[in-house]
Amino acid sequence: MQQGEVQIFTGSPLGVLFLWHVFNFLALKKFNNLTEIQSEISAGALNCEALVKYYLKNIEQQKELNAFLEVYQEEALQEANRIDQKLKDGTAGRLAGMVVALKDVLCHEGHELSCSSKMLKGFQSQFTAPAVQRLLAEDAIVIGRVACDEFAMGSSNENSAFGPVRNAADLNKVPGGSSGGSAVAVQADCCLLSLGSDTGGSVRQPAAFTGTIGFKPTYSRISRYGLVAYASSFDTIGIISRSIEDNALVLEIIAGYEEQDSTVSRKEVPAYSTQLSEEGRVKKIGLIRETMESEGLNEEVKAKTLEKIDALKAQGHQVETVEFSLLDYILPTYYILTTAEASSNLSRYDGVKFGYRSPNGTDLESMYKKSRSEGFGEEVKRRIMLGTFVLSASYYDAYYTKAQKVRRLVKDQVDQLLSEFDFLLMPTTPTTAFAIGEHSEDPLEMYLADIYTVLANVCGLPAISIPNGEDKDGMPIGLQIVGGAFKEADLYAFSKKLLPA
Ligand code: GLN
């Protein structure tokens, strides 16, 4: 085109309209899944470099969210160029074009890892977690490290040593926690997918609060090596995404045996991403009565859950209300056992081997005490003390042993339900995202945010939170589906049908 032609083209009303559309398309474009991105790449309309720049711009323009602790600008661009070359050569991996963020509890060699705590400030990972390694091996690009509640303890992301993360739907509200940064990064279109960790709901609860999809697999499905331990018999790595397809593909890639984690399952990993459209038979779904009748359940969340149930029934599925008398015992069981495990796991941060060391110690013991007192935040200290208390000789049987027994009873009851039903269904959270500061004075109120999510962790089961509309203020609502052990494929396929096409 000659210069004159450009002038004629842009000068005509039609030309202006055309350019206006192109501009809007480029400015507003959001990628909803990897397939969209990869097909634009193969059509020559996009490359990884442009994609990374797009996300970097979104991160830069939304700094007030405080989701990223670190953005790997140069490294991500270098990786993008390397993968663009591989795409040209036809040697790119399955995740070429996927830009991800990592929760600040996952080891990534040569990168800082702080667990959003002052205790580990400046610490660098010495190796890469296999889950992260497998993403990188398939050419995913890590764009940054995202904030969380300190050592993954919390339900609002207010317990980070680096300030609260904000919900992109309303900056005065929390994004949920502990993987709040992971959820907001996806919600605000700062990456396509993120990894988080889920010990009692930390992937599903923030997903519900941000309108994203949060998946927690069966305990032991993904190696925990390189995931900083909070409560080892509950911890799982989880995946937050915009689409079921991406979530399933990533699980397929990161799950499976690996020799460093003695608890990881040796079960073969199904190709989840290719089993999404399997023609499902009619499903039997259990609706736990106590979850729908619980006192703290918000009316709008309840109404949306019931609407979904009506829709399921209309599709021919069987939904039955079931009793689950132990619901009230799950939270105390969870908080006794996880604090006990945490008090043991966190004993390694003593100011000697790595991380923060207080300059105020006068002898060995005061160095330990001061390093831990100054390095950890309030909530982490509360849990270490609670955990130490329930493990102490005089109270061990009254709390720890009893909670272990209740855990077994809960698991037996839930396994029984799942032998009769394909899935258990409930809201992910009793309310939508609450205001920053609303619950920070009252830990018990905060713990209630986990009332529906801890069940899956107490029993080691896979569970997903999918978006289920919004409340009258436009805050997202989540629906949770819990499946039988290692039934990830069924959960994905069923959830996909519940989401708008
Ligand atoms: N909110 C729960 C807790 O504080 C869950 C945390 C998590 O899953 N990491 O323990």
CA of 176 to the centre of ligand 1 (A): 10
- What is the span of the domain harbouring residue 317? 284-486+493-498
178 a catalytic residue? yes
Arithmetic mean of pLDDT, 85-111: 98
Last residue of a domain, one of 274, 299, 332: 274
* pLDDT tens column, 374-415: 999 999 999 999 999 999 999 999 999 999 999 999 999 999
Q: Does residue 49 belong to any structural domain of this protein?
A: yes
Q: Does residue 348 belong to any structural domain of this protein?
A: yes
389, 299: one domain: yes
**Confidence at residue 354, expressed as pLDDT on a 0 to 100 scale:** 83
241, 346: one domain: no
* pLDDT tens column, 34-52: 999 999 999 999 999 999 9
Q: Does residue 148 belong to any structural domain of this protein?
A: yes
Q: Does residue 201 belong to any structural domain of this protein?
A: yes
Residue 323 sits in a domain whose CATH number is 3.90.1300.10
Q: Does residue 188 belong to any structural domain of this protein?
A: yes
| Minimum-distance ligand 1 atom for the alpha carbon of 334 | 10
269, 309: one domain: no
Residues 6+ away with beta carbon under 8 Å from 469: 304, 307, 476, 477
Q: Name the token pair of 223.
A: 């190696």
Report the chain's C-alpha Rg in angstroms: 23
For all residues of the chain together, what is the average pLDDT? 93
Residues 6+ away with beta carbon under 8 Å from 77: 49, 52, 53, 56
- Give the residue, out of 338, 379, 429, 442, with the most ligand 1 atoms within 8 A of its beta carbon, to mutate for a pocket test: 338
Q: Given the DSSP bridges, would you call strands 213-216 and 463-470 parallel, antiparallel or unpaired?
A: antiparallel
Each residue of 196-216: b (16+ CB within 10 Å) or e? Answer: bbbbbbbbbbbbbbbbbbbbb
Residues 6+ away with beta carbon under 8 Å from 112: 69, 70, 122, 123, 124, 125, 145
Distance CA 69, CA 162 (A): 8
Last residue of a domain, one of 240, 274, 308: 274
The identity of residue 97, as a single letter, is G
Q: Name the token pair of 363.
A: 């002898």
- Give the residue, out of 158, 199, 333, with the most ligand 1 atoms within 8 A of its beta carbon, to mutate for a pocket test: 199
201, 345: one domain: no
- Return the closest-CA partner of residue 494 out of 471, 469, 463: 463
202 a catalytic residue? yes
Q: Does residue 418 belong to any structural domain of this protein?
A: yes
Last residue of a domain, one of 217, 248, 274: 274
What is the number of structural domains in the chain? 2
Q: Name the token pair of 10.
A: 């842009």
* pLDDT tens column, 428-477: 999 999 999 999 888 888 888 899 999 999 999 999 999 999 999 999 99
251, 302: one domain: no
In 37-133, DSSP assigns E strands to 68-71, 99-103
Q: At what angle do helices 13-28 and 3-11 cross, to 10 degrees?
A: 90
162, 306: one domain: no
Distance CA 112, CA 122 (A): 6
Distance of CA 9 to the CA centre of its chain: 48
347 a catalytic residue? no
CA of 155 to the centre of ligand 1 (A): 6
55, 151: one domain: yes
331, 370: one domain: yes
343, 468: one domain: yes
258, 289: one domain: no
Q: Does residue 313 belong to any structural domain of this protein?
A: yes
200, 124: one domain: yes
- Residue 20: pLDDT band (50, 70, 90) is very low
Q: Against a cut of 0.75, is the pTM above it?
A: yes
* pLDDT tens column, 233-260: 999 999 999 999 999 999 999 999 999 9
Instruction: Kindly state the greatest CA–CA separation across the chain.
Output: 89
Q: Are the C-beta atoms of residues 77 and 53 closer than 8 Å to each other?
A: yes
Residues 6+ away with beta carbon under 8 Å from 86: 92, 93, 96, 139
**Confidence at residue 26, expressed as pLDDT on a 0 to 100 scale:** 52
Distance CA 251, CA 271 (A): 9
Q: Is 350 helix (H, G, I), strand (E, B) or coil?
A: coil
Q: Is 166 helix (H, G, I), strand (E, B) or coil?
A: coil
Residues with CB under 6 A from ligand 1: 152-155, 178, 197-202, 230, 338, 450
Q: Does residue 279 belong to any structural domain of this protein?
A: no
260, 341: one domain: no
